[in-house]
Amino acid sequence: MPEIKKSEKELSTVYSPAQVENKWYPIWEKSGAYKPAENGNDSFTLMIPPPNVTGILHMGHVLNISIQDVLVRRARMLGKSTLWLPGMDHASIATEAKVTKMLKEDGINKREIGREEFLNHAWKWKEKYGGIIFQQLKKLGASCDWDREKFTMDADYSKAVMKVFVQLYNDGLIYRGERIINWDPQGQTALSEEEVIHKDTKGHLWHFRYPLSDGSAHLVVATTRPETMLGDTGVAVNPKDDRYTDLVGKTVLLPIVNREIPIFADDYVDMDFGTGCVKVTPAHDTNDFEMGERNNLDIINIFHPDASLNENVPKDYVGLDRFEARKKVVEAIETLGFLEKIEDYEHSVGHSERTDAVVEPYLSKQWFVKMQPLAEPALEVVKDGKVKIYPERWVKTYNHWLENIKDWCISRQLWWGHRIPVWYKGDKIYCGLVEPEEDGWVQDPDVLDTWFSSWLWPFATLGWPEKTEDLKKFYPTQDLVTGPDIIFFWVARMIMAGLYFCKEIPFSNVYFTGIIRDKQGRKMSKSLGNSPDPLDLFEKYGADAVRVSILMIAPQGLDILFSEERLEQGRNFMNKLWNSARFIRMNLDEGPLEKLSNLDDEKLDSTDRWILSRLNNVIEEVDKAYSEYKMNEAIKKVYDFTRADFCDWYIEFAKTRFYGDDVEDRKTAQIVSVHIMRIILKLLHPYCPFITEELWESFKKPEEKLLISETWPLSDSKWINNDVEQDVQILMDVISAVRNIRASLNVSPAKEADLSIRGNENMCDSLCKNENYLQRLAKLNDIQFGENIAKPPQSATAVVKGLEIFVPLAGLIDINKEVERLEKQIQDMEGRLNAVTRKLDNQNFVERAPEDVITHERNKMQNYQDDLTKLQENLNSLQN
RNA sequence: GGGCGGCUAGCUCAGUUGGUUAGAGCGCCACGUUGACAUCGUGGAGGUCACAAGUUCAAAUCUUGUGUCGCUCACCA
């Protein structure tokens, strides 16, 4: 136990986190605590969801990382060989956009300087600005093993990516195909389905007349994107549509372009929508492309990669941006007299996840991963519970995606990333880890989707495909903590990759956090400016307080409405913790303190037994909460225990002993206080590592070192004692009742009063033993106990669990007020009694409810009845 | 259109397998500087658990339906 020197006894009255929080991080790091223990029993591995190299810390990270740090720190304390591996991904599109923009500002054009030169700039940028977020994570206290930090473009990691591509290619799971893909005209690259965000958008439905080539009539088509008509190569109708059977096989003369295009029949067309005629643009719509293939239509691409019009449209339109072209087409159609009508129309429009540009369906040659064979095993492992998902409802989403999976477009027309390991020579294709030796081979210019590297994260970070020690020891990992927004992008794909390349699940538990929103429920975003800078918050409240607050308000997997005031709860709690520790320390005698386990059991009084019983219950509850990934519940339990049980009651009880003359008893109170404090610090350490480590200094034994490396407390059932808990509960209830009387009768808390307690012998005995606590906490003078105590004249009364308590307040008591008080209590009691009586009067209840429930209700009724009688007697005596 | 989720105190949310007249934090009211803490303490007020029907001896909790807000998936031009 700690050895106290008088000079060291004082801690400041208000906790100021700044100093403490800067102090401990390097000490922990130097101590080697972040490294997995060589001889830990089990291993516990957690891979950080790699933030973007361009990323800076936001509130979402704070939640995410805090949860991970809690799990990691606890695992470490449980004695596991714990690895939390940090790293980041290269974020192809975002980084390339950023670097391109930076170069542009310096008057440098990316195309002009060429690939190699551009990459030089990009790497320089990465070295300079990349990974700022890691410095920020350290401020938050994240206890990652920084020596193992990974970047998806590290040499060894890149090797893994290449190896995976080649293997999948050789296994026939990667192919090149010409398809309609999602094109981001701003980033000028293809995207996967998942990178397209559909937004409901108010637009129009334009109805155009297309005249038949023979001039006999016209038909009407509708479109939300008029500019695409320049690429129309057909008009489709449903084969069963009687209205148009005559027209099938004829042609229309496409306005503006004056191209003759066929009218054909295809089942895809919905007869009931619009006019039942569909203009078909095979190069710019997925469905149109499919119809085009079925019906042998021409395919005319009308866009440049930047979505301006190319040479395949009439001269006046070449070079126009698609939205300008839209206007111009509508005008022209109107001028030609072919505009039937314009309707307001709300439909969903795809936007690029990264650049927010409206995505263009675009025909091009890209590389794809065949997903079906990978999806099936991934479905299995979740179905049979090998991989558990918390909260469970996400399983449905996961399954739905995998059951309807589409092939994954993985090529990106960018430079920053892993270049596709494929070379072409004429018609020949070569895919391999090394460049072909003969001359004339040209490498594919494209790079791979960033997710094509991060889906390997759980094992490529450990050195795969080499059979490293780390890989053996730490794969498969245990937990994954991330947001549900990347369930498809990342989580599902990691499961596929883990199973395919390592033949093992990558992790056993997936914990999805909620999304942090602002007070009004809006997502936090830079453009709204509603996202506070976490570093400011750390400075203002302390990182510990931010962690604690956010974890307390974060229900499992539900969104969190964040506002700064909510951090006060955490800050106040940290201050409370600080002061309770300070107080205990202040009251320790000089010299070493005995261990609780060495203490003679006899010396413990009922409040000691009570707090020890509560403590061990709490440890158990906390462990249970962890096992269900209810981190908010775990902290809540410790919070309540610390504040209510320990500070409000135990310490208050202990004061009588700290200041009393009984040296032995004082020692006992000190020993128990310190014991409880030490365990509180341990239980809290994962949530608020800095302050607990700082306070640990004061409470650790000489042979102990850092709290971060301490052991997790075990609940010991020998301390759990329901009788003691009940006894002390009555004591507390009596104290509360007296306080209530004083408060409602406006009796100054400073004024001492007497107390008489009438009740059965057992209860009186137990209270009598705790007389000193009653006296002190309820501010009482003389106390009388007994079965036959008479009610003193002019006393206020209350009934507590069958006990009658009388506070004689001659001269102080306002009869009217006391009558009011009692009447209220009587009313309350009558309400209870009524409810119970109704239940017991119900024949069906008595016949059908389980025995113990009925007994329970009968006891309740009896107690209520007794209490009510007493209250009424007291009221009567007052009124006479 | 499909799927999922929220709806409980003025606000933000807890509430295990149905079984005390439903809890916390913040806010509010009253009192208080009682030898840790005013980032505090004590006491108090405040709820038809969105609505409706059903199952049950018993429903905030289970079922169905409705409303509402949000998320997500979806090729109807």
Read off the pLDDT of each residue in A726-747 and give the average, rounded to a whole number: 92
Q: What is the pLDDT of residue A810?
A: 75
A517 closest-nt by C1' vs CA: B70
Least trusted range by pLDDT, from A360-374, A470-484, A516-530:
A516-530
Task: Kindly tell me if the per-residue pLDDT of A431 is higher than 70.
Answer: yes
> How many angstroms from the chain centroid is the CA of residue A4?
42
Residue nearest to nucleotide B2 (CA to C1'): A400
* Residue A109 falls in which region: left (phi positive, over 0), alpha (psi -120 to 50) or beta: beta
In angstroms, the CA of A555 and the C1' of B50 are apart by 21
Q: What is the pLDDT of residue A2?
A: 47
Least trusted range by pLDDT, from A10-14, A785-789, A844-848:
A10-14
In this prediction, residue A10 has a pLDDT band, given cuts at 50, 70 and 90, of: low
For residues A256 and A336, is the Cβ–Cβ distance under 8 A?
Answer: yes
Which nucleotides of strand B lie under 7 Å from a protein CB?
2-6, 12-15, 19-21, 25-26, 30-45, 56-58, 69-77
Question: Is CATH 1.10.490.10 what the domain over A6-13+562-720 is classified as, yes or no?
Answer: no
A746 closest-nt by C1' vs CA: B31
Let me know the angle formed at the C-alpha of A208 by A202 and A209, rounded to the nearest 5 degrees: 165
Domain covering A189-360 in this structure, CATH number: 3.90.740.10
A741 closest-nt by C1' vs CA: B43
Least trusted range by pLDDT, from A208-217, A239-248, A422-431, A551-560:
A551-560
For residues A670 and A592, is the Cβ–Cβ distance under 8 A?
Answer: no
For residues A139 and A405, is the Cβ–Cβ distance under 8 A?
Answer: no
In angstroms, the CA of A817 and the C1' of B73 are apart by 63
CA dihedral of A100, A103, A109, A111, whole degrees rounded to 10 = -40
What does the pLDDT look like over A377-390, one tens digit per residue?
Answer: 999 999 999 999 99
Task: Kindly tell me if the per-residue pLDDT of A200 is higher than 60.
Answer: yes
Q: What residue segments make up the domains of chain A, in order of their start? A: 6-13+562-720, 38-152+470-543, 189-360, 752-879
Q: What is the pLDDT of residue A346?
A: 84
In this prediction, residue A392 has a pLDDT band, given cuts at 50, 70 and 90, of: confident
In angstroms, the CA of A864 and the C1' of B59 are apart by 24
In angstroms, the CA of A559 and the C1' of B6 are apart by 10
Give the whole-number percent of chain A exceeding pLDDT 70. Answer: 98
Task: Kindly tell me if the per-residue pLDDT of A7 is higher than 50.
Answer: no
Handedness of CA A143, A147, A152, A157 (dihedral sign): negative
Paired residues of A429 in beta bridges:
A424
In angstroms and rounded to an integer, the radius of gyration of the C-alpha atoms of chain A is: 37
Backbone phi and psi for residue A802, each to the nearest 5 degrees, phi listed first: 90, -15
Q: CATH number of the domain at A38-152+470-543, out of 3.40.50.2300, 3.90.650.10, 3.40.50.1100, 3.40.50.620?
A: 3.40.50.620
Better-predicted residue by pLDDT, A825 or A142? A142
In angstroms, the CA of A744 and the C1' of B29 are apart by 13
Read off the pLDDT of each residue in A791-814 and give the average, rounded to a whole number: 86
Residue nearest to nucleotide B19 (CA to C1'): A853
In angstroms, the CA of A346 and the C1' of B1 are apart by 14
Beta strand spans in A589-647 (E): none
Task: Tell me the C-alpha distance between A141 and A155, whole Å.
Answer: 29
Read off the pLDDT of each residue in A481-486 and give the average, rounded to a whole number: 92
> DSSP code of A646?
I
Task: Kindly tell me if the per-residue pLDDT of A744 is higher than 90.
Answer: no
A393 closest-nt by C1' vs CA: B4
In this prediction, residue A524 has a pLDDT band, given cuts at 50, 70 and 90, of: confident
Enter the tokens of residue A74: 């606890």
Task: Tell me the C-alpha distance between A278 and A769, whole Å.
Answer: 91
A828 closest-nt by C1' vs CA: B21
C-alpha distances in angstroms, A158 versus A89, A607, A770? 11, 62, 71
Enter the tokens of residue A352: 């690029």
Enter the tokens of residue A123: 């790497």
In angstroms, the CA of A831 and the C1' of B48 are apart by 16
Q: Hey, is A785 helix, strand or coil?
A: strand
Query: What fold does the segment set A752-879 form as a domain?
Result: Helix Hairpins (1.10.287)
Q: What is the pLDDT of residue A39?
A: 76
Read off the pLDDT of each residue in A280-309 and give the average, rounded to a whole number: 94
In angstroms, the CA of A632 and the C1' of B14 are apart by 10
Residue nearest to nucleotide B30 (CA to C1'): A743
In angstroms, the CA of A832 and the C1' of B53 are apart by 29
Q: What is the pLDDT of residue A40?
A: 65
Mean pLDDT score of chain A, rounded to an integer?
92
Better-predicted residue by pLDDT, A312 or A751? A312
Q: What is the pLDDT of residue A55?
A: 85
Task: Kindly tell me if the per-residue pLDDT of A236 is higher than 90.
Answer: yes
Q: How many residues appear in chain A?
A: 880
Read off the pLDDT of each residue in A660-681 and give the average, rounded to a whole number: 95
Residue nearest to nucleotide B75 (CA to C1'): A287
Q: What is the pLDDT of residue A592?
A: 79
Q: What is the pLDDT of residue A6?
A: 36
Give the whole-number percent of chain A exceeding pLDDT 90. Answer: 78
Task: Kindly tell me if the per-residue pLDDT of A9 is higher than 60.
Answer: no
Task: Tell me the C-alpha distance between A708 and A686, whole Å.
Answer: 8
Least trusted range by pLDDT, from A222-231, A537-546, A795-804:
A795-804
In this prediction, residue A813 has a pLDDT band, given cuts at 50, 70 and 90, of: confident
In angstroms, the CA of A632 and the C1' of B66 are apart by 34
A392 closest-nt by C1' vs CA: B4
Q: What is the pLDDT of residue A11?
A: 63
Read off the pLDDT of each residue in A293-302 and give the average, rounded to a whole number: 94
Backbone phi and psi for residue A384, each to the nearest 5 degrees, phi listed first: -90, 10
In this prediction, residue A794 has a pLDDT band, given cuts at 50, 70 and 90, of: confident
Read off the pLDDT of each residue in A759-765 and give the average, rounded to a whole number: 91
What does the pLDDT look like over A21-33, one tens digit per residue?
Answer: 999 999 999 999 9
Paired residues of A418 in beta bridges:
none
A852 closest-nt by C1' vs CA: B19
Position A579, amino acid: N
Fold agreement between A38-152+470-543 and A189-360: no
In angstroms, the CA of A398 and the C1' of B65 are apart by 28
In this prediction, residue A423 has a pLDDT band, given cuts at 50, 70 and 90, of: very high
A647 closest-nt by C1' vs CA: B36
Task: Tell me the C-alpha distance between A809 and A793, whole Å.
Answer: 9
In angstroms, the CA of A649 and the C1' of B29 are apart by 25
Task: Kindly tell me if the per-residue pLDDT of A178 is higher than 50.
Answer: yes
Read off the pLDDT of each residue in A202-219 and give the average, rounded to a whole number: 92
Paired residues of A381 in beta bridges:
none
A632 closest-nt by C1' vs CA: B14
Read off the pLDDT of each residue in A81-105 and give the average, rounded to a whole number: 95
